[in-house]
A and B are shown apart, each in its own frame.
Chain A
Amino acid sequence: MPASGSSSGRAVWAILRKECRSEWRTRYGLNAALLFAVTSLASTSFAVGRMSDRPDVLAALLWVVLLFAALASLAHTFVRETEGHTMVLMRLVASPTAIAMGKLIFNLLFLVSIELVTLPLFLAFMGAPPPRWGALLAILALANVALAAAATLVAAVIAQTRGRGALFAGVSFPVLLPVLAAAVSGTRAQWSGAPVGAELRLLAAYAVALLAASLLLYDHLWEDA
């Protein structure tokens, strides 16, 4: 017989575990993301050497590497379900909100995994000055939430359209721009010794707004998948 409404949390947890297991078995996004991160950092390092006196360039470079390493996988969160024809199964076992929340949390974990590898390599390859860890980790955490929420939302919306690749790039650019701008600015400020409060507030507000919009929208998606 049907379970009670309290099963939403269990559905999110089941979907998160399914996503992790699927990624572990297929290595759909992880290998490509790590390859991109390592090769882009290595080639930039060989070309321009260490840039410890350019926190502005370092900040931009860090976020370009992180964003592009993760973006391909984030964009495919729902496309994999559509192209594998498994969206019907998903819709039969969980609510749209539970599906999206499970995938959002997976995207968040995916971003953190990429950063755990990329950040130490970045600091080593690019000769970046020692970061103010508290400020940098706060910026990374809030930017991760905003990036994961934005990418999941856009991926969910475009999953059933034709020309998804082009659409994701076009639709996600304006949504991701405020996150990138605030993250780059905050990262530069923490290396320059400037306060990062304004950037943290902006990232937090944007993350909350994206999460709220997501929760409102997800229930209306995929009605005719």
Chain B
Amino acid sequence: MEARALTHRYGHRPVLDQLSFAFQGPGVVAVRGPNGSGKSTLIRVLAGLLRTSGGETTLHVDGRATPSRNRQRWIGYAGPDLSFYPEFTALENLTFAAEARGLARPAERSRERLEKVGLAARGGERVHALSSGMAQRLRLAFALLDDPPLLLLDEPGNHLDDEGRQALATLIREEGTRRLVMIATNDEREGALAGQRVELGTRGLGDPA
């Protein structure tokens, strides 16, 4: 994952300013910085959900640059802005996502991912009945759905209890041996899992440049 002179502004306020980096998977990268420093913005930019004000990002898979318009096909994303259809069950949501992505064995694959995040027993419940912690596990299951070369996790420990955080740590360690995992976090336990870091600490809370 490569970023060159990445710049993003909200109005006149710069959040990312000429940020450049290159990371090669497998491995875990922590994106760190105070509130408002642009962690979530960076993750959304890398996921192709937000167009930057300047600079560019390139995702290389098997030595070839992937088309930026199709970025979503190559990444697994879990962030607070990811919501599911409340009238569907957790399993139905994942199965829909797998079908829309054209994945093989969508229902079976979805069950496997729910099991991986400890949500198999609640897979038949509608999403509106899930707790915040369960919804967070569902986000993680969604991110893992496609076995993507790049996992982008924005505050993955949000709403998780101690058991959930331990399971998350195990999952990040495991996934970090197979692919590139980038985590936006201020949690020391999650940060400690990372071998490399992007520090966005120079400005926080919207401090103007």
Contacts and interface: CB of A to CB of B under 8 A. Distances in A.
A216 interface: no
Contact of B101 (A3, A18, A25, A223): A3
A224 to B, nearest CB: 6
Contacts of A2: 70, 73-74, 101, 146, 148
B72 A6 contact: no
A89 B69 CA distance: 16
Nearest to B75: A92
B21 interface: no
A4 interface: yes
A86 to B, nearest CB: 5
Interface residues of B, number: 33
Determine chain B's interface SS by DSSP, over half rule: loop
A190 B99 CA distance: 44
Nearest to A84: B83
Nearest to A219: B69
Interface residues of A, number: 32
B189 interface: no
A95 B81 CA distance: 18
Interface string B41-81: 00000010111000000000000000001101110010101
B148 A88 contact: no
Contacts of B51: 223-224
A26 interface: yes
Given A14-B96, A86-B85, 4 more contacts: A2-B74, A13-B99, A85-B83, A98-B100
Ranked 8 nearest A-B pairs via Cβ: A7-B102, A3-B102, A14-B99, A85-B83, A93-B100, A14-B100, A2-B73, A10-B102
11 contacts: A2-B74, A3-B102, A14-B96, A14-B100, A18-B85, A84-B83, A89-B97, A92-B77, A93-B96, A94-B100, A95-B70
